[in-house]
Amino acid sequence: MEINIAGPKIYWTIRLFDGDSLFSKIEISETMVVGWLVMFIITGLCIFLTRGLKTENISKRQVVAEWLVELIDNFVIGNMGEKFRSFIPFVAALFATSLVSNLISLVYFRSPTADINTEAAWAIVVFIMITAQKIKASGFLGYLKGFTTPIAVMTPFNVLSEMATPIGMACRHFGNILSGVVINGLIYAALAGASSALFGLLPGAVGNLLAQIPILDVGVPAILSLYFDWFSGVMQAFIFCMLTTLYISNASEG
């Protein structure tokens, strides 16, 4: 019995330079390919929803499109205030990508969010935005001075806590999704084992045949998937966006 929970597959490797540095080769991994698929799905859905918009007697698709826009508007403006209207598409992109990435694991694909690179990328972007807002609010010197409060001795801790923000965000999201992947892998393997042990008890060739088929893997993991994929997936997308909006709007208050 082999349980192998590994990282995303590498489909192609493009060599840029000789040598073995981090930047020497581009690996087109499962994360990237499924990420593109996710973008394709979201954009396709948007195009589908916004087809044939009318001012009156609107279609159900338009109702959904307008509801989505209103929802994200209310979310961003409610959390950040009217002056952050320009962040609406960014937060929408973050939420949509996170949500679809998390849920795409339901249809066989490996979630791009089960790769720390994805969350790290988002967290870095959010961290840059937070820092930009802080500098905008209190000036560059004021931003640097902020690390020495309340006393100069606290500076290393302040720097650490500043760093903890993006790392925490990335690891929280990644950890939740990865735990789903790991637990799902374990469950599938365990149920396959249980299935083979159970039907192996049957005598003769029938038992040998049935023991080869992981019958218990049908249906049973779906119940656990309800939590690890559906609930956790939606929740983590929501939490990531919530934290993004709150951190950015808090940063702008200095």
Shortest distance in whole angstroms from residue 137 CB to another protein: 23
36 counts as binding another protein under rule CB under 8 A:
yes
Distance of alpha carbon 16 from alpha carbon 97, whole angstroms: 29
CB nearer another protein, residue 126 or residue 216: 126
54 counts as binding another protein under rule CB under 8 A:
yes
Number of shown-chain residues binding another protein (CB under 8 A): 54
Distance of alpha carbon 230 from alpha carbon 235, whole angstroms: 8
- Is residue 150 reached through a cis peptide bond, with omega within 30 degrees of 0 on the bond before it? yes
CB nearer another protein, residue 124 or residue 206: 124
Per-residue binding letters, 87-126, with another protein (x by CB under 8 A): -xxx-xxx-xx--------------x--xxxx-xxx-xx-
Answer for which of 26, 144, 202, 206 binds another protein (CB under 8 A) is 26
CB nearer another protein, residue 6 or residue 201: 6
H/E stretch holding 224? helix 220-225
Q: Which span sits near another protein by CB under 8 A: 53-61, 185-193, 215-223, 225-233?
A: 53-61
Alpha-carbon torsion (155, 157, 159, 165), positive or negative: negative
Q: Which span sits near another protein by CB under 8 A: 23-31, 149-157, 230-238, 240-248?
A: 23-31
Shortest distance in whole angstroms from residue 125 CB to another protein: 6
**How many other CB atoms sit within 10 Å of the CB of residue 4?**
6
5 counts as binding another protein under rule CB under 8 A:
yes
Contacts for 182 with CB less than 8 Å, ≥ 6 apart: 5
Distance of alpha carbon 128 from alpha carbon 248, whole angstroms: 10
**How many other CB atoms sit within 10 Å of the CB of residue 246?**
12
42 counts as binding another protein under rule CB under 8 A:
yes
Determine contact, residues 176/236, Cβ cutoff 8 Å: yes
- Burial bucket for residue 111 (CB in 10 Å: 0-12, 13-18, 19+): buried
Query: Residue 173 in 3-state DSSP?
Result: helix
Q: Which residues bind another protein (CB under 8 A)?
A: 2, 4-10, 22-23, 25-27, 29, 31-32, 35-36, 39, 42-43, 46-47, 49-50, 53-56, 62, 65-66, 68-69, 88-90, 92-94, 96-97, 112, 115-118, 120-122, 124-125, 174, 178
